[in-house]
Amino acid sequence: MEKKSRKTSSGISLPTVADASTTISNIANEKPGQFPFTRGIYSDMYVDRLWTMRQYAGFGTASETNQRFKYLLSKGQTGLSVAFDLATQIGYDSNHPMAKGEVGRTGVAIDSLKDMETLFDGIPLDKVSTSMTINSTAVILLALYIAVGKKQKVQPEMLSGTVQNDILKEFIARGTYIYPPKPSMKIITDIIEYVSTNLPRFNPISISGYHIREAGATAVQEIAFTISNAIAYCRAALEAKMKFDDFAPRLSFFFAAHNDLFEEVAKFRAARKIWAKIAKEKFKAKNEKSMLLRFHTQTGGSTLTAQQPENNIVRTTVQALSAILGGTQSLHTNSFDEALGLPTEKAAEIALRTQQILAFESGTANTVDPLAGSYYLEYLTEQIEIKAMEIIEEIESNGGSVICIENGYFHSQITKAAYDFQKKVESKENIIVGVNQFKSEQLSATAVLKVDPNLEKEQIASVEKLKKERDNNLVEKSLKELTKTATENKNIVPSVLTCVECYATVGEISNCLRKIWGEYNEVN
């Protein structure tokens, strides 16, 4: 019987045995911390300093999420990562009809500076770095964070963290956009310019492959599409008269980690190499820091199963291991119960403990790039680089990411990849334990976190009270100034900061900009 050839999710043919003839890579001359950074962006990597353990959290009101943050920090978490509810993500206040039933469901509800003050109450912003997964309203949440820092007597230059601020992947894979692409890109370049000048320890963007992968893309497509988006952002910043070496050192990336351990490790190594070459050759980077692909990793939410959810602990461990072996700078490990609902405290603690066991018990942090030189790994790294570059060049030849969003290229490619994967699951070519093989008739007794519906009522009452008690003349004046700034095509960040310090709400600021730029409606 003829043996069936094995392939990765990206269609890379796999050798039964890898040897010196399998790859043309010459890894022997590459060192960690040196161009093209395949082996890691720092010479000592985790030997010198572990990755940041940054668990994603947010639900209900700011008060509930503040308690979860403090719980995770007390358990050894080393950085915060904020999940916002859908209304906050798309610029509606909690009392808006569009927010009904969504307040505090997929993340924390943030309507104003009052909520942001509560969210970080008792958490010193000069001691903790914070990542905010927010895109369409990123400029508002960044301003709120700066304003909270000021109230804590923490100057902007002392704030550290990341604002996701990646609108292109929203058009490609996720859908929480507000404005059309052109003004959306303007907001992003405004943030990059402002942060590069005023917040030297802050990342103004996290260019995300995570959501692209979660939508069904392969590992190769994930890094190809992400780096193509990075090229588009860099071009937009250059067109806004910024210099590449002035902003590029603060660019950051965000990737998924899925189940194929070696493909994932190779993906991270290839991504570093590709970006270093693009920064140096395409954008003529002189500063070595501009060539570093610094990235956060989250284990794969779409890989989690509602069936036999305890198995997700094992999946998450394998995925986290791939991120660590691949050289991530920070990591979120998903909780085993996330296919059922928001993480319970116990599940969130197990997810954090997974990272801590890998860090302190597994030995993976004892040397830099421990898998380097493996014939198999070097072959995969080389193949992923080749295939990803082919896609990047195809996107560039068709006008770049923005044009490829408009003509449906990304959607068609991701849809096809997701369909092909699902066919393999249904035919059992791809085995998913507990789903299409090794099933169990016994249902899990896993507890599910439920958000108290009364929290939505409390949040609505809170924002309505705020609007009555604040100085509404000052709010109106600040919104008029924002309108003027946006209409004149100036950088809007300072004006947005003035608005939030007057306690203008996320919805009010978003509506102000909606009136100028309109809303984007996807064309099918």
Q: What is the DSSP annotation of 20-55? A: TTT----GGG--TTSTT-TT-SSSSHHHH-PPEEEE
Quickly state the pLDDT bin for 445 (edges 50, 70, 90).
low
d(Cα 163, Cα 192) in Å, to the nearest integer? 10
Q: Is residue 147 part of a domain?
A: yes
Helix then strand then coil, % of the chain, to nearest 5 = 50, 10, 40
Beta bridge mates, 13: 7
H or E element, residue 347? helix 345-360
Kindly indicate the confidence band of residue 74, based on its pLDDT and cuts at 50, 70 and 90: very high
Residue 89, in any domain of the structure? yes
pLDDT of res. 523:
59
User: Residue 407 corresponds to which amino acid?
Assistant: N
Question: DSSP letters along 433-452, please?
Answer: BTTTBS--SSPP----B---
- Which pLDDT value is given to residue 235? 97
**Cβ proximity of 83 and 173 under 8 Å:** no
Q: Is residue 505 part of a domain?
A: no
- pLDDT, average across residues 496-509: 98
Query: What are 202's strand-pairing partners?
Result: 161
> CA-based angle 178:151:507, to the nearest 5?
20
d(CA 207, CA 227): 8
On the question of pLDDT at 27 being above 80, the answer is no
- pLDDT for 410 beyond 50: yes
* Contact call for residues 461 and 448 (beta carbons, < 8 A): no
Give whole-number Cα distances, 371 to 42, 48, 254, 266, in Å.
16, 18, 22, 10
Residue 393, SS3 per DSSP: helix
Beta-strand (E) ranges in 436-493? none
Which structural domain, as residue segments, surrounds residue 145? 46-361+370-426
Phi, psi of 108 (to 5 degrees): -80, 145
Rounded to an integer, what distance in angstroms lies between the CA atom of residue 431 and that of residue 439? Answer: 11
Q: Does the residue 184 lie in any domain?
A: yes
- Ranges 439-443, 450-454, 464-468, most confident: 464-468
The pLDDT, as a whole number, for residue 472 is 98
Residue 43 in this model has a pLDDT that exceeds 60: yes
DSSP run (H or E) holding 271:
helix 261-277
Are the beta carbons of 489 and 150 closer than 8 angstroms? no
Residue 86 binned pLDDT confidence (cut-offs 50, 70, 90): very high
pLDDT in tens, 375-388: 999 999 999 999 99
The answer to the question of residue 499 being in a domain is no
Percent of the chain having pLDDT more than 70? Answer: 98
Q: What is the pLDDT of residues 309-366, one digit of tens each?
A: 999 999 999 999 999 999 999 999 999 999 998 899 999 999 999 999 999 999 999 9
Structural domain total, the chain: 1
Q: Of 9-13, 109-113, 171-175, where does the model show the most confidence?
A: 109-113
Half-sphere exposure at residue 354, Cβ-oriented, CA atoms within 13 angstroms: 28
**Average of per-residue pLDDT across 235-248:** 97
Euclidean distance between CA atoms 299 and 318, whole angstroms: 9
Region 140-165: what's the mean pLDDT? Answer: 97
pLDDT value at residue 3: 53
pLDDT-derived band of residue 2, with 50, 70 and 90 as boundaries?
very low
- CATH code of the domain containing 388: 3.20.20.240
Averaged over 191-204, what is the pLDDT?
Answer: 96
Asked if residue 73 lies in contact with residue 122, where contact means CB atoms within 8 angstroms, the answer is no
In a domain, 235, yes or no: yes
443's CB contacts (< 8 A; 6+ apart) are: none
Q: What is the pLDDT of residues 95-138, one digit of tens each?
A: 999 999 999 998 999 999 999 999 999 999 999 999 999 999 99
* Residue 472 placed within a domain: no
SS3 assignment, position 300 = coil
Mean pLDDT (the chain) is: 95
| 50 located within any domain | yes
Question: Cis ω on the peptide bond leading into residue 36 (within 30° of 0)?
Answer: yes
What is the pLDDT averaged over residues 229-257? 97
* pLDDT (average), residues 410-435: 95
Phi, psi of 487 (to 5 degrees): -65, -35
CB 166 within 8 A of CB 207: yes
